[in-house]
Structures are given as structure tokens and as C-alpha cells.
Amino acid sequence: MTLRLILLRHAKSDWHAGLSDHERPLNRRGRLAAPLMGAWLREEGLTPALALVSSATRTQETWERLGLAAPMETRPAIYEAEAETILEELNLTGGAASPLLLVGHNPGIGDAANRLLSDDVIGDFPTAQAAVIGFEAAVWADVRPGCGRLLALAQPKGLV
């Protein structure tokens, strides 16, 4: 595998009266889950070379609580994006930073994972789940639907 992509759905968020969907923070469960996922990524040697994170509060907070020492770009287009937009953002990423972490929202993140995979189908994509997908590609601009292979799938409840 030349390139590795980690698609991570934000950790569990809270519903606060008076806040827009974009401004929702993580709830207690989410604040506990994100560090678990960060530890798993480090243990698996998957500290990202670059992270692309939605502009929503819950994705930004998930990123912060992962505790990963890596460069991060906020990508507003990822907020509530459909699979096509997520794939476009991936293709717009210059170079071959790998692993590349993308922190986003469902259903787009789960749909994007399924479109990228060649033979694996991921069912439900719960909060804080990570799918690690490998590609035989030199740069992100070359990644296309159906060309990926599922390398790992993890979620917080499976780590405790």
C-alpha cells in the first residue's frame, strides 16, 4: 500500500438548546471516546502526516482530544458533506501525505468509505469509528472510488 487514509466520524456530540448544529460540542461519552481513538491510532502506527477536519465544533473538539501531534487543516466543505464532496476534498489534497486523517460526519463519512473500498462493505458507522483504507496510488489526486482496501476498522467500545 502506498497511501493510507483514516476516515473518522466525530465522537458523540451533545444537543444544547439554542446552539446550531454546527456549534454542538462533544458530550461526556464523546470526550472520553476521542482520546481512546487517539491512543489506538498511535499504537497502530497511524499518527497522521496531515489531518483534514470539518469546521464543526464537534469535529474540531474530536481532533483536539485525539491528542495527535500532526498538522491539521480545517476544511469547511467537509461539514455535513456527502460522499462526493469528501472524495473531492481528498483529491484536492496535494502530495502524498500518509497516513491522511479525515474527521467528518455521517452519513457522508460512511458512504465515502464504502465508495472507496474495492471489496469490503462497512455497515453502520457509529460515532468515533475509524476506517483505515489503503491505496496503491502515488498521490491523493489519483485515488478513485473502488480502488481501496480496508486495513482496519475500530471504535471506542471495542478498545475498552
Cβ–Cβ < 8 Å for 104, 54: yes
Residue 62's nearest CA partner among 81, 38, 78, 93 is 38
Could you tell me the CATH number of the domain that includes residue 77? 3.40.50.1240
CB contact set of 40 (below 8 Å; sequence gap of 6+): 130, 154, 159
**By residue range, what is the domain housing residue 106?**
3-158
Digitized pLDDT (tens) for each residue of the chain, 160 residues in all:
589 999 999 999 988 778 898 999 999 999 999 999 999 999 999 999 999 999 999 999 999 999 999 999 999 999 999 999 999 999 999 888 999 999 999 999 999 999 999 776 898 999 999 999 999 999 999 999 999 999 999 999 888 6
Kindly report whether the global pTM for this prediction surpasses the value 0.85: yes
Number of domain units in the chain = 1
